Structure 1
Amino acid sequence: MNRYGILVRLTAAILIAAIIVGVVSANIFYRITYNSELAAANEDISQLFTTVSSTASIAAYVEDSEIAREVVNGLVTNSTVHGVKFKAGNVSVSTPIKSNYKPLTFDIFHPFMNSEVIGHLDIYPEESFIRNRAEVIGRDNVKALFALATVVTLLTLIISHYLIIRPMVNTGNALHNIDPGASNRLVKPDFHKTSEIGALVEDINELLEKSESLITKERSLRKEIEVLEKNFRMLFENSLSPIVLADRQGELILSNDSFYTLMARVNQPMLTNYGPLLSDLFVQSEKLIKDVKQAFQKNDIAIGEYELKTSKDEPMWSQVVIIPISTEDNSDLYQITLHDISKRKLEMDKLSVQAEVDSLTNLTNRHGAETKLEDLMQRKVPFALALIDLNGFKQINDIYGHDAGDVILKHVSDNMLNVVRQDDTVSRWGGDEFVLIFKRTEKQALIKVLDKMYQAIIKPVKLESINQEISVGASIGAAFYPESGETLEQIIRRADKAMYRAKAVKQAQPEKYLFFDEE
């Protein structure tokens, strides 16, 4: 039996209450009994006085001490009397008195005149006799009370056990044997279909019903999560693209096999940290971090293309996709996916070169030149633009054919490239027109370069098909940014006008092959 169980505690509580009630009741009963016995003793004494009143009256009347002593001694022989005092006239008779009780005083009347008091008789009750009788009666009452309390306690415990404790214990044991999520339910105990215990069983069954429903849903969700985790793990591990989960400091938390394969390809050691956002793996690490911050500030996914550091000759490029993730404990993690775009990047570079390079002369074409000019103007970089038109090229094309024209164009292009600086750009503008982008605005420096270029252009070239040397001339117009205009269209138009002024005098003054916008 559980010493802290309800039955034990209820038994202890009832016993303590019974003892307290018994002690208080015994004390009360004793006081009541004592007072009752005292009243009874006083009544007996009154009756005794009535019996001896006539004799006492005669003794008082004749003042006979002998008769008075007989009266006193006769009263003392009674067990309820402790002592007696007789006082009448000159006669005074008493017994030894050792009592704190107040005596009962009776008047002794004249034997012939009932209204005349001729003496007094003090009778002291016997205290010990009264107390003993009161204690005997009190003990009997207490015994009876304790017997009654014991019976009531036992009956209360038995009734409580069968009506409350046992149904609750059985209900608790049944509940203990029900597994979480099981379909078992509690049965209402007998005699408790509509009681509080029955209501408690109904509430417990409702709770079990809800628990079964929640646990069933949880198990179903857990199975779905397990399937999703399995599928995610399969996708993660079998992904051809490297995938990494890292914290803000760059510590790797999770990575797949493709990431380790990539590290081997770029000859990087296997580490647990490659800097924030794997930035240490890329050539433009600062740009990567800056681009990611800008994307996150807009609540976007960070996507960009960056070159990987590698000891190989061929560059390796990756498309980097970074997704921020917040965990339940408010930690910031980043899912980083790397897609190999090296082949695509190489093809795009080739297409870009093809789009901006003239296939015949390998010079920058007009599109490439315009792109470069727009970039210089966007950055407010001053420059000079020289528009060059070949003189006599059309006649060579018409007489000797297009193959001869191609030879002239290649010859002129190669010669021009040999006289310009690496910072300057020579472009085939179209047909027999060329452009020089000169990143200096000093007029004399430009004249010096264009003079060398002119001499290179007019240098003869031998045509193998006819075994003959031929040459072309040139007319050049130059303009300056920003002096000649603030737009590309304005600059080209000013250079074109200057070039046509040179073409206008090419026959009369061939040495004036160069004109400037302000002239």
Structure 2
Amino acid sequence: MITAPLPLDEDLRLQALKRLEILDSEPEEAFDRVARLAARAFGVPIVLVSLVDEDRQWFKSHHGLAACETPRSMSFCAHAVLSKRMLVVDDALDDERFLDNPLVLGAPYIRFYAGAPLRLADGQVIGTLCLIDTQPRSLGADDAQALADYAQLVERELEVRRQLIHSRTAHERDRRSLAISEARFTTVFKETPIGNALVALDGHFLEVNPMFSEITGYDEATLRKLTFAEVTHPADVASDVALAAELVAGKQTTYATEKRYVRPDGTAIWVNLAVTLLRDATGVPLHFIAAVQDIDSRKRSEEALGNYHAELEERVRERTTELRRSRDALQTITDNLPVLIAVVDRDLRYQFNNETFRRVLATPSAMLRGASVRDTLRPEVFEQLQPYFARALAGERVTCNEVRYRADEERIWCTTYIPAEREGKVTGFYVMSHDVTEQRHTEQRLRENALIDPLTGLANRRALEEELGATLADGSPFALFFIDLDGFKSINDRYGHDTGDALLREVANRLKSTVRAGDFVSRLGGDEFVMLSRGVTESMSAERIAQAACHALARPFVAGGQIVETSASVGVALHSADEGGGRPDEPLCLADAAMYEAKRAGRNTWRLARQAARAVSLVQ
């Protein structure tokens, strides 16, 4: 592979590219449209708008290719930039410059390439509009002219971008006042389907949109004379004021709460309130931005549903005799409740079911009356609930928090079994179920978020402790690897925390691709990572895993647009099945201590706990 040398005017070329402020920008339809049209016109699978940076070629548009950049050393486009003329390669395998190029031998398997230079108004060539095919082909004179015409469309978009940047610079002195004005009078503020308000620091309303007036019942002119405290329910004022004070004090950047407004007619309406404090460039508070959503119907529904269960149980106990004489009345009442209701006798046969119960089980009323519970429910559901039936028939009120009546849907029911008594004897039990699907999904999301490191997407410390505890409890042998990056603080100091965060994410990706399927990878915090490999019983196996991790992290990273070099020190602790259980922190402490031995041994190496003095160096 022959790498294109740098053009003589490389510094000027790179300066022109940087001034466009286009590198690593979001996709734009104008460029993507040209790429799509070119792909259709020339019948090629891949069309790129390629910009050649200092160490890479970055694709402003990449039709037919998932990657958004490749190293400049592999770039065909770098040769076109050097020559400043259209470059056509009929068959890369017949061209000594490219025949061993990784992009030819591997994905995307380039065989044909045609790149038209993208030239700015000052004559600098910053990249190409290129056509790529996986099959050899040629480019006739007419096609070459057409490709040049498409390139001119891209150049026109680049020139428009350059002129916009120039205009933006000319008007930068007015940016702050314009931004505040636009923020206040934006169309989104006025026409959004939720209530919006700008509130002064003293609580007075500055601006409100029509939806805010509709929710509170006050017109805009009236609201401008009031403070938010004057239209808030007295019971909610103190908490609202306290939260606003925390924003001003800088203790938090935003808050959300549920509160009540009092409308002019004296009625209260529940809303979901989200508040942000806007500050100027120096950090001085300006005003609050409030977003309000009407949740009055939901709150009233929640209150009603919360009372249904208790009220229904009391009603069943107080009116058992009366409802037995008037089954039609009972049926009418229960059919209109959003819960499953049934009566089961001691032989586990249905004596009564409401309409919701019949609808969920998809069984007609005539078939349920007297039907066996065992024959009606799915076998696995019956096996799950049979212990609850036995306890209810023994006189105990019991609840199963998770019942899935049907296999063809994901609805989850919370079911309570209440003993039915007559003359002091249990004659069966009542069944009452309410849908808790959304509640369970919310709980699951909260738990998952609590166990995931938000920066890297790996398991966090809490998840690691749970995994270690479970592994120790079942007596499985395992190896624990404590990994600490070498020199991470200096990387943060040199490149900034954004690059440091990007590096940590790349480290997480490499560790996940290095370990075995089923191994557990987590981030403790900072630049510390822990891997747990079940079934590892021999030191040689643990050594191979540690060595692989060191090698993977010693290769240069591309993080935050920078090429960053680092390494890792790894401490290894083996835990055999003979050692039994123990506390999760014991193997973690052993691996941590071994890691520090690796640090003292020169870094970019590993040490095995209890054998940390053994000299083991990695071949660089």
TM-score (norm 1): 0.49
Q: TM-score, normalised by structure 2?
A: 0.42
Higher helix share: 1
Higher relative contact order structure (alpha carbons within 8 Å, sequence separation ≥ 6): 1
Structure in which a larger fraction of residues adopt strand:
2
